[in-house]
Amino acid sequence: MSTDRHDDHHGDVRAPGNLSRDATPPDLRAGAEEADVGVVIVAAGSGSRVGGGELKQFRWVAGKPMLLHSVQAFHSRRDVAMVVCVLPKAFVGDPPPWLFQCDIDRLLLSVGGRERTESVANGLEDLPDEVKVVLIHDAARPFVSDATIDRVIAEARCGRGAIAALPVVDTLKEVDESGRVVRTLDRATLWRAQTPQAFPRDLIEQAHAKARAERLTATDDAALFERLGLPVVVVRGSERAMKITDEGDFARADALFTVNE
């Protein structure tokens, strides 16, 4: 495992199992002949809404550290060539010991930035050459399902961005600063964006390069893609893929996990 994002990681990279790196590189559509999916898991936030001493992405939820859930979910797939975990700087030099339980031949650590967008950009820079499809995932969503991963990858292989999302079920109100309702939004057209989000590598790199040049950030990567006028589609996410944002979410996630086990 490399601990410095300025290292030349590429020499460390090797395909899992008996998949050969010498095979003809597949194009985007070719699928799982060779592992060509790179995953960036952003885990460099400070968890300010949860608070407390330990970072939320390292706290235990549903039987193991939160970040480990998603690293293992991606490592269990044969199409994943590399998982890049983006961590706060102090932890890149001194990672939590349980990370070494992972498939360390398919694990790199990158240093996070001040904003999530910057953390993703740092992770993208460290992806090895064979990656053609990029998945971006929040460590704060520990329960990522294989079916959702399949769906976003399938869309990205068709040359578009794809995000896991759920339709909005509540009626949504736009409200002004005084608390007065300005208007009711048309719920039928509104979706809640989750992660993972998948993109053809060259296009998401362009989207991030533009964001960096224009000093723009966004709360998800699809927004940067949309700004380039590139197509993004939604695929069905799941309630299980909830984001752990505040203290109460830990208990909710534990309960959800127990129910669904």
Contact residues: ligand CTP, CB under 6 A: 42-49, 57, 86, 112-116, 119, 138-140, 243, 245
CB of 172 to ligand CTP, least distance (A): 21
Please report how close the Cβ of residue 211 comes to ligand CTP at its closest, in angstroms: 14
Site for Mg ion in 31-90 (CB under 5 A): 45
* Residue whose CB is less far from Mg ion, 131 or 253: 253
- Look at residue 245 and give the partner it binds from Mg ion, ligand CTP, none, a contact being a CB closer than 5 to 8 Å depending on partner kind: ligand CTP
- Least separation in angstroms between CB 13 and ligand CTP: 22
Q: To the nearest whole angstrom, how small is the minimum distance from the Cβ of residue 89 to Mg ion?
A: 17
CB 92 within 8 A of CB 3: yes
Q: Which is nearer to Mg ion, 130 or 138 (CB)?
A: 138
Chosen from Mg ion, ligand CTP, none, partner binding at 123 (C-beta under 5 to 8 Å by type): none
> Quick one: 42 or 234, whose CB is closer to ligand CTP?
42
49 binding partner (options ligand CTP, Mg ion, none; Cβ < 5 to 8 Å by kind): ligand CTP
Q: Which residue is nearest to ligand CTP (CB)?
A: 45
3-state secondary structure the chain: CCCCCCCCHHHHCCCCCCCCCCCCCCCCCCCCCCCCEEEEEECCCCCCCCCCCCCHHHCEECCEEHHHHHHHHHHCCCCEEEEEEEECHHHHHCCCHHHHHCCHHHEEEEECCCCHHHHHHHHHHCCCCCCCEEEEEECCCCCCCHHHHHHHHHHHCCCCEEEEEEECCCCCEEECCCCCEEEECCHHHCEEEEEEEEEEHHHHHHHHHHHHHCCCCCCCHHHHHHHCCCCEEEEECCHHHCCCCCHHHHHHHHHHHHHHC
Phi, psi (deg, nearest 5) at residue 183: -165, 165
- Backbone region of residue 122 per phi and psi (left: phi > 0; alpha: psi in -120 to 50; beta: other values): alpha
Smallest separation (angstroms) from ligand CTP to the CB of 81: 21
Residue 184's binding partner among ligand CTP, Mg ion, none (Cβ under 5 to 8 angstroms by kind) is none
Q: Which is nearer to ligand CTP, 112 or 200 (CB)?
A: 112
Q: How far is the CB of 67 from ligand CTP (least distance, A)?
A: 8
User: Please, which residue, 157 or 208, has the CB nearer to Mg ion?
Assistant: 208
Q: Between 73 and 140, name the residue whose CB sits nearer to ligand CTP.
A: 140
Q: List residues near Mg ion by CB under 5 A.
A: 45
